[in-house]
């Protein structure tokens, strides 16, 4: 049935782009723009051309999923991980929209389940294929559904809200330095320059199970949502993002200006930018003095740990082609110019020092490795404590009854 002319609408303008940067040999970043009802989606694998109907459209009742994913794992494993992450979420969210019993679940829990299955798939394939061992990916999702924006977070990619002339980071980095900042051991300025700022505590595929942090907030007319990998956030400050986005004529101009600035400042990592502008009569205007309220959404007890075997088999059948192409690319990479294979992702391992420096500075290297091991141990402890606290809070809330925890986040 066609939409009535006078029926309120939600219109969104979208643009995304990703760039390898100026240092990395390949791009392990990815993004996702998904029209849930139609199942039509755009990722980095589709190139830079915006598909027809994706750049600007009316959001249907089934919603819209936006996401950025930053892969890791050395060689091309990170590229495979981020590709699997966005493709799995896109395929499952479309199927959940009409398939019982998933369609009866809240939208937030369908998104959470899709992310949990992406984690499971990446982990299992990293165990199955030696060339993909250790692969993982961050994932930051911002999904619109019936007036609400749902934020799903794993890792240290980020989501920002630009509203009423101000900007606010909506997600929290799941990183070692962020935990140290929260504990009072580092300042925000020190964290931005810290040598271990890329050590993350969670990633899709790193472990058999992961905790998806899920929040939601009400969308207002004129809101702009920016998703980005750390290739942008490590080079461009929030205030600079705000100035560029508010000063641009549209989302395309703003996204390209952000990308350009990140590359001008070194471009030493892959850079991904996804920008959405929300409008339409169905969205209310922001009220003067209104705070941005984030509602934390706990995992629904009805949510299954795995999807139906039929859905899972669909995903598994999709993977071997991806892995096979990755294996061929890896083999070509290893034989090209006789160069030995070496990891290139600072989120996992640091580059080995040259041979001539090893004998001269063996004690320094040993001390540095000891410090690194201590920091990684501290990160593991903090991650474990955080996971246990989340599980304990779930148990407490299951005894007391479901509840939403409100956070008041002021727009600056």
What pLDDT score does 392 carry?
Answer: 64
225 is a domain residue: yes
| Alpha carbons within 13 A on the beta-carbon side of 55 | 10
> Does residue 382 fall inside a structural domain?
no
If one compares 344 and 131, the residue with the highest pLDDT of the two is 131
What mean pLDDT is predicted for residues 401-409? Answer: 36
* 371 belongs to a structural domain: no
Q: Does residue 108 lie in a domain region?
A: yes
Distance from the first to the final alpha carbon of the chain: 43
Whether residue 380 lies inside any domain: the answer is no
pTM above 0.75, yes or no: yes
Rounded-to-integer distance, Cα 171 and Cα 167, Å: 13
Asked if residue 383 belongs to a domain, the reply is no
Would you say residue 12 has pLDDT above 60?
yes
Altogether, the residues listed in the chain come to a count of 412
What's the rounded mean pLDDT across residues 77-100? 95
Tell me what percent of the residues of the chain surpass a pLDDT of 90: 59
Domain that holds residue 20: 11-326+390-409
CATH number of the domain to which 140 belongs? 3.60.40.10
Q: What is the pLDDT of residue 365?
A: 39
Looking at every residue in the chain, the average pLDDT score rounds to 82
What stretches of 270-308 show up as alpha helix (H) in DSSP?
Answer: none
Residue 336 pLDDT > 70, yes or no?
no
Q: Does residue 385 surpass a pLDDT of 70? A: no
User: What average pLDDT score do residues 190-211 get?
Assistant: 81
Residue 48: count of CB within 10 angstroms of its CB: 9
CA-CA distance, 221 to 227, in Å (whole number)?
18
**Chain segment 178-188, per-residue pLDDT in tens:** 677 777 777 66
Q: Do the domain assignments include residue 368?
A: no
- Structural domains in the chain (count): 1
Ranges of beta strands (E only) in 238-362 are 271-279, 292-296
Cα(145)–Cα(86) distance, integer angstroms: 18
- What is the pLDDT at residue 47? 78
Q: Which residues contact 266 (CB under 8 A, 6 or more apart)?
A: 22, 23, 235
184-208 mean pLDDT: 78
Return the biggest CA–CA distance within the chain: 77
Q: For residues 88 and 121, give the distance between their C-alpha atoms in angstroms, rounded to a whole number.
A: 8
């Amino acid at each position: 049935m066609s939409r009535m002319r006078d029926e309120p609408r939600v219109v969104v303008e979208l643009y995304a782009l990703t760039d390898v940067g100026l240092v990395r040999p390949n791009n392990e970043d990815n993004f996702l723009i998904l029209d849930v009802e139609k199942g039509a989606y755009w990722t980095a694998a589709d190139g830079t051309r915006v598909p027809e109907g994706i750049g600007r459209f009316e959001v249907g009742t089934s919603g819209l999923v936006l996401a950025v994913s930053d892969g890791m794992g050395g060689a091309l494993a990170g590229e495979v991980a981020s590709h699997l992450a966005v493709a799995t979420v896109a395929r499952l969210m479309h199927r959940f929209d009409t398939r019982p019993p998933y369609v009866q679940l809240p939208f937030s829990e369908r998104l959470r389940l899709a992310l949990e299955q992406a984690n499971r798939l990446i982990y299992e394939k990293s165990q199955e294929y030696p060339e993909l061992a250790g692969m993982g990916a961050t994932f930051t999702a911002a999904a619109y559904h019936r007036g609400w924006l749902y934020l799903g977070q794993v890792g240290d990619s980020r989501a920002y809200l630009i509203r009423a002339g101000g900007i606010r980071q909506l997600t929290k980095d799941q990183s070692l330095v962020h935990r140290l900042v929260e504990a009072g051991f580092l300042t925000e300025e020190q964290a931005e320059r810290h040598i271990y700022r890329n050590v993350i505590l969670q990633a899709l595929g790193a472990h058999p199970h992961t905790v998806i942090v899920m929040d939601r907030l009400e969308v207002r007319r004129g809101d702009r949502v920016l998703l980005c990998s750390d290739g942008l956030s490590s080079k461009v400050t929030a205030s600079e993002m705000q100035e560029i986005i508010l000063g641009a004529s549209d989302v395309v101009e703003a996204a390209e200006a952000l990308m350009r600035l990140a590359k001008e400042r070194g471009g030493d990592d892959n850079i991904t930018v996804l920008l959405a502008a929300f409008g339409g009569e169905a969205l209310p205007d922001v009220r003067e003095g209104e705070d941005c309220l984030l509602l934390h959404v706990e995992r629904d007890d009805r949510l299954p740990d795995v999807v139906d075997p039929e859905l899972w088999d669909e995903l598994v059948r999709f993977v071997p082609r991806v892995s096979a192409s990755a294996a061929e690319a890896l083999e070509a990479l290893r034989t090209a110019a006789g160069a030995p294979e070496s990891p290139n992702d600072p989120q996992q391992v640091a580059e080995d020092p040259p041979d001539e420096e090893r004998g001269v500075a063996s004690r320094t290297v040993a001390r540095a490795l000891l410090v690194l091991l201590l920091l990684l141990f501290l990160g593991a402890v903090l991650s474990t404590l955080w996971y246990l606290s989340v599980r304990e809070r779930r148990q407490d809330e299951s005894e007391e009854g479901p509840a939403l925890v409100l956070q008041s986040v002021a727009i600056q």
